[in-house]
């Protein structure tokens, strides 16, 4: 009975990693990005300024890094139950 419980507990690790990887990939594969959506539908600011603001926000939130680095950073926050700040409301999500 003890070996069964230990085996099940050890199998939870790759299962949870697989689930988190799937959630991360699906969230990144969704069309658009949160920064473009936040700036609104065109015409609110000139293209050069909008591109600069978008680049600054991408750097701030780590979207400029490779996907593997983004995943590890995201997973580290999830393990600590830190869901980050809302991009729209600028408050903690939790």
Is residue 47 in a domain?
Answer: no
Is residue 65 in a domain?
Answer: no
Is residue 85 in a domain?
Answer: no
The number of folded domains in the chain is 1
Each residue's pLDDT, cut to its tens digit, for the chain (94 residues) gives 999 999 999 999 999 999 999 999 998 888 877 776 666 655 566 777 777 888 888 888 888 899 999 999 989 988 998 888 876 787 888 7
Is residue 41 in a domain?
Answer: no
Range of the domain at 23: 1-31
pTM of the model: 0.71
Q: Alpha helix locations (H) across the chain? A: 2-29, 34-39, 47-61, 67-79
Is residue 12 in a domain?
Answer: yes
């Amino acid at each position: 009975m003890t070996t069964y419980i230990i085996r099940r507990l050890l199998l939870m690790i790759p299962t949870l990693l697989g689930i988190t990887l799937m959630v991360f990939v699906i969230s990144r594969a969704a069309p658009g990005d949160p920064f473009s959506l936040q700036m609104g539908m065109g015409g609110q600011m000139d293209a050069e300024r909008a591109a600069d603001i978008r680049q600054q926000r991408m750097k701030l939130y780590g979207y400029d890094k490779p996907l593997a680095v983004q995943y590890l950073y995201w997973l580290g926050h999830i393990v600590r139950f830190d869901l980050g700040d809302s991009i729209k409301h600028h408050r903690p999500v939790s």
